[in-house]
Structure 1
Amino acid sequence: MKYYLPLISAMALSLLSACNNNDEPEVVGGPADPMAEKLANAAPIELPPSVKESHQYRCKDNSLIFVDFMSDDKTANLRTEKNGSPTKLVAAEPGKPFTADGGYSVEGGGKQITATLPGKSALSCKA
């Protein structure tokens, strides 16, 4: 039994030495990437902001609005129905009112805001 182990090892080694005996060169890098230069010079990617706070507000006229304040402090999504499509509101800088075309505006944050919707005057709303 002791004599078979070296013999088996020698046979396995001889079989492995026969591997990869082709004369063709091995290509490691593959073909050149045609967009490599564009990708190297591309601007860094900025991820969209995440939801920081989400509130349901009851306004003075007894209507409900739903506002999602984003983590960049310059964007908010306003919905007039719980599952309605959002209207993106943008502030010029953090702390300024969020506005959008069409007469949408939200000022403030947290538990109390002032909201202006198309065709309505400014409403005081509480969470």
Structure 2
Amino acid sequence: MPILPPTLRSAPALAGLLLALAACNTKPTTITADEVPDDQKAALANAKPVELPPAILATKTYRCADSSVIYVDWFSGDKSANIRTAKGGEPTAVKSDEAGKTMTADGGFALDGSSTASTIKATVPGKKAQSCNA
């Protein structure tokens, strides 16, 4: 009996393995998103639209009637702004329900004006309302 090289000795086993694999289902499997249940589908369909936070339109420095300086970050929508009484100080957010109305915050902050106006009316704690120029 002749001696076969190792690759030919395993040929019958390999042929049996290939025959077994050929008997498997050869239909391709298709996976679609519809087959996966979506437990949030109803909640997302009924969710209210998302409103992005306002973007900063302008950052301006104003000199007020009493020679004090305030720093204002104006936000898009003309309903909110940040006021700082010192450069790099902690901002105080002032808001209004309607664009063009006085924006206020707790503690006595108030702001009238817009990002495009060169003169605003500002009130900060401990001071009365005063005119401020950019």
Is 1:60 equivalent to 2:76 in the alignment? no
Residue in 1 aligned with 2:31? 27
Task: Identify unmatched segments of 5+ residues in structure 1.
Answer: 1-17
Q: How does 1:23-102 map to 2 (within 5 A)?
A: 25-29=29-33, 30-102=35-107
TM-score under structure 2 length normalisation: 0.69
Q: Deviations over 1:47-90 (max 9, x none)?
A: 11212222101112222111122220111111122222321111
Is 1:107 equivalent to 2:116 in the alignment? no
Measure, in 1, the Cα distance between the counterparts of 2:119 and 2:30: 68
Measure, in 2, the Cα distance between the counterparts of 1:95 and 1:59: 20
Measure, in 1, the Cα distance between the counterparts of 2:28 and 2:101: 67
Task: Identify unmatched segments of 5+ residues in structure 2.
Answer: 1-21
Match of 1:124 among 101, 107, 131: 131
Task: Name the Cα RMSD after superposition.
Answer: 2.3
Larger Rg: 2
Q: Deviations over 1:4-52 (max 9, x none)?
A: xxxxxxxxxxxxxx8x954685432253121111111110111112122
Measure, in 1, the Cα distance between the counterparts of 2:28 and 2:103: 65
Measure, in 1, the Cα distance between the counterparts of 2:44 and 2:90: 35
Measure, in 2, the Cα distance between the counterparts of 1:50 and 1:38: 28
Measure, in 2, the Cα distance between the counterparts of 1:84 and 1:22: 70
